[in-house]
């Protein structure tokens, strides 16, 4: 059998590393974090970038959501019309009860201006005007709202109107509202409106009802809500040091303090870590009968995790201990599984970083050619967990 491996020490080191569990971030398990005691009947704290739930309390309970409904209303409006369009106020828009931006029959306003009245002043008149402008009726607009909810995976939500006044069959959950808000805050126009403290539009001076914009450092919005049956509802978003969190409290007598406490707890106890970087060298493997002695195996993509102080992170690498020449750069070389607290959270592909061309002076025997073909078939199918 004829082949060459000029650096046998590499193979020895590789055996010690490949196909083993490599801890990247291992910490002793401290006492369980002391979570905030909140007044809300239902609440959640979610990381906006990864969707990780940091805290929840009855977050899947179906609840009345009052004017936080307008988060969905605003997102649907933004996605279904030009914000520079003009709408004409009809008399019936002005007759809806509750909070108002005080629209006048016959008035013509830009959709963008009415959005500010919807989200800052919580105008129920604005909600009806926008819904009818988009769909022609509240009922047809509600169908669009529910279609959007389904698209976002809000499986425990049902919308009957654009303003959130108590109606049979109109409800959501803290978790669903957090999912909605994460999506909405990724929309530039939405985020711009809800982060505005006050503004002059359409001859009106509007002030945002969301006191967190003044009270909490890093607050970005989003929406307040209240009815006697629903109690105080609040959905908010805050960002510090590159970490963005979304908080939802439903039926919360002390909602401002609830949100501040949950944010403080979240920012203090969690941080982003990057256990894997794109292009990170995982191993350098020997090449049999190649023009080069070795070829690097690197990660195809990178990933970041939101981790608490008690979380442990490990990786399991599945890759060949050596290869036969004939590999091209970018070809699949296996995979690496990222495990947090014993559960696989993501798998990252591995690729060869460079060609491994055959050295014609070191031609393979028949059986070496068979092994070469088997090796390359296997390398195309590496997986850790099926």
Known catalytic residues?
A: 67, 70, 122
Distance (Å, whole) CA 5 – CA 290: 9
Unique residue bearing structure tokens 């013509």:
108
| Tokens (6 digits) for 280 | 């990170």
Phi, psi of 217 (to 5 degrees): -65, 120
| Tokens (6 digits) for 153 | 């995976």
> 3-class SS at 184?
helix
Distance (Å, whole) CA 295 – CA 129: 64
Beta strands in the chain (DSSP E): 21-25, 42-47, 53-57, 86-88, 108-110, 198-201, 204-207, 219-227, 231-240, 243-250, 270-276, 281-288, 294-299, 303-308, 313-318, 323-324, 332-340, 343-353
Distance (Å, whole) CA 345 – CA 339: 6
Distance (Å, whole) CA 323 – CA 358: 11
Residue 46, class by beta-carbon neighbours within 10 Å (0-12 exposed, 13-18 middle, 19+ buried)? buried
Question: CA dihedral in degrees (315, 321, 326, 330; nearest 10)?
Answer: 10
């Amino acid at each position: 059998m004829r082949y060459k491996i000029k650096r046998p020490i590499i193979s020895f080191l590789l055996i010690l590393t490949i196909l083993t569990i490599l801890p990247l971030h291992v910490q002793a398990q401290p006492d369980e974090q002391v979570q905030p005691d909140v007044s809300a009947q239902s609440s959640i704290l979610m990381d906006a970038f990864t969707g990780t739930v940091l805290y929840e309390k009855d977050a899947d309970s179906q609840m009345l959501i009052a004017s936080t409904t307008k988060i969905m209303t605003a997102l649907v409006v933004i996605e279904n019309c030009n914000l520079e369009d003009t709408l004409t106020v009809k008399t019936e828009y002005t007759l809806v009860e509750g909070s108002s931006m005080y629209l006048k029959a016959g008035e013509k306003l830009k959709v963008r201006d009415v959005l500010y009245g919807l989200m800052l002043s919580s105008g129920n008149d604005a909600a009806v005007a926008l819904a009818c402008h988009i769909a022609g009726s509240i009922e047809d607009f509600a169908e669009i709202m529910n279609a959007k909810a389904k698209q976002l995976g809000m499986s425990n939500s049902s919308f009957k109107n654009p303003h959130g006044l108590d109606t049979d069959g109109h409800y959501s959950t803290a978790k669903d509202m957090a999912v909605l808000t994460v999506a909405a805050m990724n929309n530039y126009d939405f985020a711009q409106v809800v982060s505005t403290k006050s503004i002059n539009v359409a001859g009106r001076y509007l002030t945002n009802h969301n006191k967190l914009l003044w009270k909490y450092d890093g607050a970005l919005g989003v929406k307040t809500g209240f009815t006697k049956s629903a109690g105080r509802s609040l959905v908010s978003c805050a960002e510090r040091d590159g970490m963005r969190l979304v908080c939802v409290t439903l039926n919360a007598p002390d909602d401002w303090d609830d949100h501040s406490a949950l944010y403080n707890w979240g920012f203090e106890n969690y941080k982003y870590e990057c256990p894997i970087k794109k292009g990170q060298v995982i191993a350098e493997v020997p090449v049999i009968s190649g023009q080069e002695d070795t070829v690097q195996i690197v990660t195809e993509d990178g990933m970041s995790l939101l981790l608490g102080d008690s979380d442990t992170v490990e990786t399991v690498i599945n890759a060949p201990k050596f290869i036969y020449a004939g590999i091209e750069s970018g070809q699949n070389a296996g995979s690496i599984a990222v495990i947090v607290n014993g559960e696989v959270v993501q798998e990252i592909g591995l690729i060869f970083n460079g060609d491994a061309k055959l050295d014609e002076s070191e031609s393979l025997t028949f059986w070496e050619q068979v092994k070469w073909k088997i090796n390359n078939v296997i390398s195309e199918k590496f997986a850790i967990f099926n």
